[in-house]
Amino acid sequence: MSKEIVIGVIPALFIFLAFMGVNIAPLIIGGLLIAIFAYFMIRQSGGSMSLGQKKTKNSVPKTNMKFEDIGGQERAKGELKEALDFLIHKEEAKVYGIRPLKGILLTGPPGTGKTLMAKAAANYTNSAFVAASGSQFVEMYVGVGAQRIRDLFKEVKTQAEKNNQDSGIIFIDEIDVLGGKREGSHHREYDQTLNQLLTEMDGMSTTDSPRILIMAATNRSDMLDDALLRPGRFDRKIVVDLPDKKARKQILNIHIKNKPLGAEVNLDRIAQETYGFSGAQIESVTNEAAIYAFREKSKSIDSKHFSLAIDKVMMGEKTDRETNEQERERVAIHELGHAIISEEVNPLSVSQVTVSPRGQALGYVRQNPREDRYLYTKDYLEKQIMVCLGGAVAEEIKYGHRSTGSKGDFDQALRLVHSMIDSGLSRLGIVKLEMLRKEDIQEESAFILDTLLEETRSILEAKRALMEAGAAILVKEEVLSGDFFRTFSSEEHKEVS
Ligand code: ADP
């Protein structure tokens, strides 16, 4: 606003002075000189003269990360090494007329080791390494992002020269922030940043010294602008996925190397229980387990510490929320409902039942996935939905009504129901959710849920005595292990029959 006022006032002042007979020529020349000087100052400082703005430092100290220090990801590591070999053996690649590789895109969920891969790549190829994150480029000021891209290139070259290296790797994390799809004529400041990156990439050639390779990471490659994915730019895409059981065990092994492990700890079992965890979460489990052992002044990190650590990483820290006796009893009944159904539909599936508040939950049942799964049958999904419904049904049987505690369970049950419908596993046949009217989805969801609710109810009604006795112990003990729960269930069963 003040800029507009100044722009308006200055000419008016000049006209007034000229009218009064003052010679304004020196003033105009002086003003012009000041404006030109200011313009160059702004360009020098990266497009903005805003006070206190710091230039981000992107270089990372020489990395000694090796591919062997990354657990699992065998296929991704293999593909990456193969791509990097062109950089190492560039003379041979030239003989075959292979186009120089300019960009490698690593895609996958957060915490799966993409940054580790980029660092290992730099080490493998003896390259200089600089890293930045997409969010660092989002600035209010026009031109700052583009300037930062130029700085990155300058920095990697300087670093390579300093270390006598003839190649450099620039790693850009969260590239989707600056390289998202451009829609319509809507211009964003980071379009300039993206254009600058593309220009720099197009300008890179085999004869450059040092040779530069851009590595970028994202978990939303579908969101990237097509311009980035064109041949000659990021034309190598490597998927870095969540680790399977074998990979989880390798990652555990890497992170317990420097820790005193109890003799009875079964890493195979921990790998099984951490289904769906990323590498970063597994690292966190080993660290949290060590913290629990340290707090207890235990000589070694034992199974119980790992069990607590998995709960913490999965559900969040224990909260101080004080629940009253009645509430605890209701939560215990609710959790027993989940646990009984879980054992009924998948024997040996309960790993632990707890009634201590953690994160958002007041209690929870941890299930043991027996193997990693990538395909779900109708039968499997129905069983999982019944496990979700078990909590609410148990409350209904015991108290005659449900509580708000089942909201999360219902959300999850509905997600599973929708995935059943969307995969052609419902009465509607092969359909797409988007093709259906809301009422049709609702009717089919209600049918599936009602049928499964009935089935869940009849199982729990038959096991009411077990549910109540189990809940009473759970309120006292706070935690029941899966094995205890199974022994207790079979004893109850004998007593009843
Ligand atoms: P991303 O870049 O994919 O978000 P990072 O590479 O930054 O993930 O990983 C974060 C941390 O998680 C690492 O510092 C490491 O401790 C751990 N980690 C992730 N994946 C692995 C893996 N495959 N092997 C060993 N540690 C891993």
Q: What is the pLDDT of residues 257-303, one digit of tens each?
A: 999 999 999 999 999 889 889 999 999 999 999 999 999 999 999 99
Query: Looking at 40-44, 149-153, 318-322, 466-470, which range is the least confident one?
Result: 40-44
262 CB less than 6 Å from ligand 1? no
Note the pLDDT of residue 46.
40
pLDDT at 41: 55
| Ligand 1 contact via 120 beta carbon (within 6 Å) | no
d(CA 41, CA 51): 13
Measured CA to CA, the distance from residue 198 to residue 89 in angstroms comes to 25
The token pair at 3 is: 């800029």
Q: Return the half-sphere exposure (C-beta side, CA atoms, 13 A cut-off) of residue 215.
A: 26
Whether 320 maps to a domain, the answer reads no
Torsion angle (degrees, nearest 10) of CA 39, 44, 50, 51: -120
Residue 349 tokens read as: 């599936």
Which atom of ligand 1 is nearest the CA belonging to 250? 24
Residue nearest to atom 27 of ligand 1 (CA): 279
Same domain, 219 and 87: yes
Quick one: pLDDT band at residue 496, thresholds 50, 70, 90? low
Give dist(CA 117, CA 415) in Å, integer.
34
Asked if 330 and 199 sit in the same domain, the reply is no
Cβ of residue 286 lying under 6 Å from some atom of ligand 1: no
Which atom of ligand 1 is the closest one to the Cα of 173?
2
447 and 337 within one domain: yes
pLDDT confidence of residue 495: 64
Is 62 part of any domain? no
Residue appearing with tokens 């549910």: 467
Q: In the prediction, which pLDDT does 226 show?
A: 85
- Determine if ligand 1 sits within 6 Å of the CB of residue 102: no
**Residue 249 domain-assigned (yes or no):** yes
Domain stop point among 315, 333, 348: 315
Q: Indicate if ligand 1 lies below 6 Å from the C-beta of 116.
A: yes
Tell whether the model's pLDDT for residue 52 goes beyond 60.
no
In a domain, 61, yes or no: no
Return the DSSP state at 299.
Answer: S
Q: Which range, 189-203, 213-227, 311-325, is most confident?
A: 213-227
Q: Do 401 and 253 reside in the same domain of the chain?
A: no
Answer whether residue 388 is part of any domain. Answer: yes
Pairing outcome for strands 128-133 and 479-481: unpaired
Please give the mean pLDDT across all residues of the chain. 85
The predicted structure's pLDDT at residue 73: 93
Domain count, the chain: 4
Pair (80, 180) in one structural domain: yes
DSSP 434: G
**Closest atom of ligand 1 relative to the 71 alpha carbon:** 24
- pLDDT confidence of 107, banded at 50, 70, 90? very high
Task: List beta partners, residue 215.
Answer: 104, 171
Nearest to 486 by CA among 366, 329, 339: 339
- Does residue 437 surpass a pLDDT of 50? yes
Do 393 and 478 lie in one domain? The reply is: yes
Is-contact 219 107, C-beta < 8 A?
A: yes
Q: Which residue has the tokens 């043991």?
A: 368
pLDDT attached to residue 491 = 80
Q: What is the best residue among 239, 252, 283, 287 to mutate for testing ligand 1's pocket, by most ligand atoms within 8 Å of CB?
A: 283
Return the structure tokens found at 196.
């600058």
Q: For a substitution probing ligand 1, which of 69, 107, 112 has the most ligand atoms within 8 Å of its CB?
A: 112
Pairing of β 167-173 and β 103-107: unpaired
From residue 372, give the alpha-carbon distance in Å to each of 39, 76, 246, 337, 392.
Answer: 60, 19, 10, 25, 28
- Cβ of 112 less than 6 Å from ligand 1: yes
Asked if residue 88 has pLDDT above 90, the reply is: no
Which residue has the least CA distance to atom 8 on ligand 1?
A: 111
CA of 281 to the centre of ligand 1 (A): 9
Same domain for 147 and 133: yes
Residue 59 lies in a domain: no
In short, whether 467's Cβ falls inside 6 Å of ligand 1 is no
Residue nearest to atom 13 of ligand 1 (CA): 280
Asked whether 130 and 171 are in contact (CB, 8 A), the reply is yes
> Do 374 and 477 share a domain, yes or no?
yes
Please provide the DSSP assignment of 444-493 as one string.
HHHHHHHHHHHHHHHHHHHTHHHHHHHHHHHHHHSEEEHHHHHHHHHHHH
392 part of a folded domain? yes
Say how far apart CA 301 and CA 262 lie, in whole Å. 5
Give counts: helices (H), strands (E), the chain. 19, 8
Provide the pLDDT confidence category of residue 45 given band limits of 50, 70 and 90: very low
Q: Three-state SS for 495?
A: helix
Compute the distance from residue 85 Cα to the ligand 1 centre, in Å: 23
Q: Is the pLDDT of residue 330 over 90?
A: yes
Residues 40 and 167 in one domain: no
Q: What is the CATH number of the domain that holds 275?
A: 1.10.8.60
Highest averaged pLDDT of the listed ranges 200-204, 287-291, 316-320, 356-360: 287-291
Q: Is the CB of 119 under 6 A from ligand 1?
A: no
Q: Which of 336, 345, 444 is nearest to 393 (CA)?
A: 336
Q: Is the pLDDT of residue 44 over 50?
A: no
Confidence of residue 141 (pLDDT cuts 50, 70, 90): low
β-pair partners for 216:
105, 172
What pLDDT was estimated at residue 443?
A: 95
C-alpha 161/C-alpha 208 separation (Å) is 13
% of the chain residues with pLDDT over 70: 87
**What was the pLDDT predicted at 362?**
84
Q: Which pLDDT score, from 0 to 100, does residue 50 have?
A: 34
- Residues with catalytic roles: 335
Q: Show the domain range for 272.
A: 245-315
Question: Ligand 1: distance of its center to the CA of 252 in Å?
Answer: 12
Residue 282 domain-assigned? yes
Structure pTM?
A: 0.74
Give me the CATH number covering residue 213: 3.40.50.300
From 293, 315, 337, give the residue that closes a domain: 315
**Whole-number Å distance between alpha carbons of 50 and 54:** 10
Q: Give the residue from 198, 192, 199 showing the smallest Cα distance to 216.
A: 198
39 and 89 share one domain: no
- C-alpha of residue 283 to centroid of ligand 1, in Å: 8
CATH number at residue 351: 1.20.58.760
232 and 249: one domain?
no
Verify that 337 and 448 share a domain, yes or no. Answer: yes
Listed residues 271, 296, 315: the one ending a domain: 315
Residue with the smallest CA separation from ligand 1 atom 17 is 280
Q: How many CB atoms lie within 10 A of CB 455?
A: 18
| CA 278 to ligand 1 center in whole angstroms | 8
Of the given ranges (193-197, 292-296, 306-310, 389-393), which has the lowest mean pLDDT? 193-197
Other CB atoms closer than 10 Å to residue 298's CB: what's the count? 14
For the segment 117-137, what is each residue's pLDDT rounded down to a tens digit? 999 999 999 999 999 998 887
User: Nearest CA to 197 among 117, 124, 136?
Assistant: 136
218 lines ligand 1 (CB under 6 A): no
Q: Is 168 in the pocket of ligand 1 (CB under 6 A)?
A: no
